Amino acid sequence: MEAQMKVKDVMSGALTIILWIAVSALLAQKPQIDISLANSLGIPHAYDDVIKLQSGDLQFYKMTTANGSIQIAGFQYLRQSNTLTNVVQIGNITGFEGTAVKEIYTQRFGKYYVIYQYPQGNPQGLVLIRLDAHDLEYRIIDDMQFSSDFIGWSRIDIVSENHLVIALDDRLEFFDFASDTSQTLLDGADYQSSPIQQKRVYAMPTGHFMYVKDTCEDDAVETWFIFDSQGTHQFTMIMTDPWFGVSVIGPSYGQDCDFVHDRFYIGTPGMAYDSALLECHFPSPDSLHVFIIGAPVSPDEHLFRLVRFGDDRILRSYYDYGTYNGDYFLYMNHSPLEDNPEPTHWNAFGPIEPHIDSINDKIVTISARHEDYILVSALCTLDFPAPHTFTFPAPTVNVDLPVITFSHEDQLFMISDGRLYAFTVEFSVSNADETAVPPLHTLSAYPNPASLKGVITFKASIKQALELDIYNVRGQRVDTITLDSEGTAEWDLRNHKGAALSAGVYFAKPRNHKNIKPVKFIAIHSRRSLS
């Protein structure tokens, strides 16, 4: 037992040293970010949709519908040459009756999928379109029964490159795009929902999808059937939380169907809580863990977007209907949200929609099109929350018009009012200690490491009363203490609420005094006696 405790102490000490070294290296890094407008050009061709290709080029599509036909044309933006290609006629789809209505469009598995229902107002079939740049494939489904109230966005989803799942009135159908065939996955009593439930399907980035009997009234029970991407049933979950009875499962379209730190998120454009979302992950092969997350501040926040920010942080933007003009807000949380529900930082953008793009694993850009200029702000994990903000003059536009942004490697693209802007994001890291002016005075902490049950003494080489802010490794201020006229103070390692700190690395930084170098210290649990 004594030997085990000694080993545990050695491992704990080694881990502490590693953490100290990692944090010290991080804080020594000073990011240098410069954003410049590389190119701007007008878009002379009409288009409906635009996607980013794997090369970073942009593909534009124009789809024209007529009675019994869909004509598809397209052109590209080539980023290396900053040029637009000529319009190419990609294909003409026929073989159905009436006018088709676009129901779903999304980019997945490296391809672009568009699903039309036809005819308008009384759907009798589907047109499935798959585009790879200028390569077109399509299928027409006319051998299934679609009710007049069939809503494609909630009852169709693309679950693999070649497979779609369709929730019909009487069965769950699994369609194979490659072979143009389908099979029934679920029917009968297991499939049918009650009058207060809606049938919904949702594709997950785990290679799974689910069929949900979605309760839409004050009823606490929902049934979720989980399948893999090949249509094999994995397990069934009964959701009993009362919250599920007052909201609905949103579609996987219009947001990133992807992981953020090993979890994925489902919007709930619900009946009672528009602002909530679901944080999901698989703790075991036969279990889906779902955590309900409310809006950070206001119950009227909706239209969320989430992006990864470094190794353990997440940025999420919301539109708040409850503010006077309707405002956008950006929040930063540590991940997962289940364990870190309270945002550590937030910012308001007013009524102008900000567009969030991940440039690399350290930088996220927030861009917005204002009436006569473009604003691009970069947030970096190395010096967050300090923004690196740049503005660019631009022709006067109606800011209510849609704006589209993409990022690829070190480039950011914005499409606004028939014009494409290409920005270059330059990023480098220097050692702050090499360029900074050496501090005139020092600050020491003793003992270091310090026991959480003891006290730590801070002493500055300058004999002056001043405030000392204490921060954790997340950059959160936990307490502020005051050095006396001799530059000395004792602290009991408790935060401003009187609660004991957690073990870990902390920093003491003199407030409003740049000539005193901050000091790092480690708080540890008291060693137990080995006797």
**Sorting pLDDT into bands at 50, 70 and 90, what band is 17?**
very low
CA distances from 369 to 46, 349, 393 (A): 21, 12, 10
Cβ distance 253 to 236 under 8 Å? no
pLDDT at 304: 82
d(CA 318, CA 273): 14
Q: At CB < 8 A and 24+ separation, what contacts does 9-13 make?
A: 9/527, 12/524
Cβ distance 456 to 493 under 8 Å? yes
Calculate what percentage of the chain has a pLDDT beyond 70: 89
d(CA 67, CA 323): 44
pLDDT digits (tens, 9 = 90+) for 79-113: 999 999 999 999 999 999 999 999 999 999 889 99
pLDDT digits (tens, 9 = 90+) for 198-254: 899 999 988 899 999 998 777 678 999 999 999 999 999 999 888 888 788 888 875
pLDDT at 143: 87
pLDDT digits (tens, 9 = 90+) for 343-366: 988 888 888 899 999 999 899 999
Strands (E), 360-418: 363-369, 373-380, 387-393, 403-408, 411-416
Q: Does the pLDDT value for residue 12 go beyond 50?
A: no
pLDDT digits (tens, 9 = 90+) for 42-68: 999 999 999 999 999 999 999 999 999
Which residues are CB-neighbours of 511 under 8 A, at least 6 positions away?
466, 467, 468, 469, 480
- In terms of Cα–Cα distance, which of 343, 243, 247 is closest to 297? 343
pLDDT at 22: 43
- In terms of Cα–Cα distance, which of 21, 36, 33, 24 is closest to 429? 33
Helix (H) / strand (E) containing 349: strand 345-350
Domains of the chain: 304-351 (no CATH), 437-524 (2.60.40.1930)
Name the pTM for this structure. 0.75
Percent helix / strand / coil, the chain, rounded to 5: 10, 55, 40
d(CA 294, CA 137): 41
CB atoms closer than 10 angstroms to residue 398: 9
pLDDT at 517: 77
Cβ distance 163 to 230 under 8 Å? yes
Q: Mean per-residue pLDDT for 453-466?
A: 88
- In terms of Cα–Cα distance, which of 424, 394, 367, 416 is closest to 43? 416
- Check residues 8 and 182 and name the one with the higher pLDDT: 182
pLDDT at 474: 62
Which residues are CB-neighbours of 529 under 8 A, at least 6 positions away?
none
Q: Does the pLDDT value for residue 531 go beyond 80?
A: no
Q: Does the pLDDT value for residue 305 go beyond 90?
A: no
pLDDT at 348: 87
